[in-house]
């Protein structure tokens, strides 16, 4: 099977399954090795799906380990070959990817293929009440309506959870400090946000004067209900630029992540107010020669009023970049 049609995570899972077979002195690479590799994969979609299904992952791993301990062991170096069951699961995963209109085979397709296979791993999942229908239901939560069009789709799943901090949730849990003496500024921000268009305030001030505190004060007011009617039940999310840029090695990765965040915000139809601290960093972020920067990706949405945004920057940077 052509490995180029597999995502990076699924290739890593297959390599990990092979290492596991070698470590256990198994000559056959089986569905059990693959199941173990995908359920313990860091940053993978499968552990996230299992968590949402309220499955005890360590208990599941122990059961899988017990089963592959029963597999025949060989001493000395020998060629590891694919079991017929695993080959069938990989073919079924290809069909699952096609059914979901995905261009690449990912770890979630393996998980979808295992329960209906007449294998030991299929039995283990069935014993825990994991079936294809339940997986598909959770997959919609994790992926939304996104299709896999490249080899790193996980970066774009649940983008808001990964790349933003929910200030309203923090305010609800009393994890934000009270904001004192900034009522006029908070009121002015609410006034601008309440407009139909041109509703994106920018907070300008010297470092340390409390620009971020105004966004936190707004979040506290939303939780307390001390807010105009049209801003009720809104969420203030703070964009984490560090997380957004971290690990984006290839050209276009940063833009893809940002687009995924913006797409989720637009899909929530005005429920989210995005707070961007140091907003000047967006101008030129991700841009190489001939590429568009992050600010240009956001401009059309801001102009159409699909995205409500609060920016914060210093006076010098505002003059220089914005």
* pLDDT tens column, 219-229: 999 999 999 99
Q: Does residue 292 surpass a pLDDT of 80?
A: no
Q: DSSP string of 164-227?
A: EEEHHHHHHTT-S----S-HHHHHHHHHHHTSSSS---EEE--TTSSHHHHHHHHHHHHHHT-S
Q: What's CA 268's distance to the chain center, in Å?
A: 16
From 237, 231, 196, 198, select the one nearest 215 (Cα to Cα): 237
Instruction: Look at residue 288 in the predicted model and tell me its pLDDT.
Output: 52
- Among 282, 298, 287, smallest CA distance to 200 is for 298
- Residue 306's contacts (CB-CB under 8 Å, 6 or more residues apart) are 266
Residues 6+ positions from 321 with CB-CB distance below 8 Å? 280, 283, 284, 313
pLDDT in tens, 177-217: 999 999 999 999 999 999 888 899 999 999 999 999 999 99
**pLDDT on residue 220:** 96
286, pLDDT greater than 60: no
pTM of the model: 0.75
- What's the confidence (pLDDT) of residue 276? 95
Res 189: pLDDT: 96
Tell whether the model's pLDDT for residue 41 goes beyond 90.
yes
Compute the average pLDDT of residues 277-286.
78
* pLDDT above 50: residue 290: no
Ordered structural domains, the chain, with CATH: 3-151 (1.10.1780.10), 159-321 (3.40.50.300)
8 A C-beta contact, residue 110 and residue 99: no
pLDDT for 296 equals: 85
Task: Report pLDDT for 289.
Answer: 47
């Amino acid at each position: 099977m052509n490995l180029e049609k597999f995502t990076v995570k699924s290739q890593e899972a297959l390599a990990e399954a092979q290492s596991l077979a070698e470590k256990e002195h198994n000559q056959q690479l089986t569905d059990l090795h693959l199941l173990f590799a995908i359920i313990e994969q860091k940053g993978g979609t499968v552990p996230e799906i299992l968590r949402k299904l309220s499955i005890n992952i360590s208990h599941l791993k122990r059961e899988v380990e017990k089963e592959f301990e029963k597999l025949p062991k060989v001493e000395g170096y020998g060629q590891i070959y694919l079991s017929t069951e695993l080959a069938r699961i990989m073919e079924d995963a290809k069909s699952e990817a096609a059914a979901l209109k995905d261009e690449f085979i990912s770890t979630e397709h393996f998980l979808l293929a295992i329960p209906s296979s007449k294998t030991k791993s299929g039995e283990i999942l069935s014993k825990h009440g994991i079936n294809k229908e339940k997986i598909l239901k959770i997959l919609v939560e994790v992926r939304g309506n996104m299709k896999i069009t490249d080899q790193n789709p996980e970066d774009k799943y649940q983008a808001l959870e990964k790349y933003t901090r929910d200030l309203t949730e923090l305010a609800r849990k009393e994890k934000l400090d009270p904001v004192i003496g900034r009522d006029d500024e908070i009121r002015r921000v609410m006034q601008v946000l309440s407009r139909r268009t041109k509703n994106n305030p920018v907070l300008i001030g010297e470092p340390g004067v409390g620009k971020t505190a105004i966004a936190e004060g707004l979040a506290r007011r939303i939780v307390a209900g001390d807010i105009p009617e049209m801003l009720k039940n809104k969420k203030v999310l703070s964009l984490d630029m560090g997380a957004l840029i971290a690990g984006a090695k290839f050209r276009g990765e940063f833009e893809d992540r940002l687009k995924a965040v913006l797409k989720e915000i637009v899909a929530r139809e005005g429920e989210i107010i995005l707070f961007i601290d140091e907003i000047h960093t967006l101008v030129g972020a991700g841009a190489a020669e001939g590429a568009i920067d992050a600010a240009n990706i956001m401009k059309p949405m801001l102009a159409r009023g699909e995205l409500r945004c609060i920016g914060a920057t210093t006076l010098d940077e505002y003059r220089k970049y914005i």
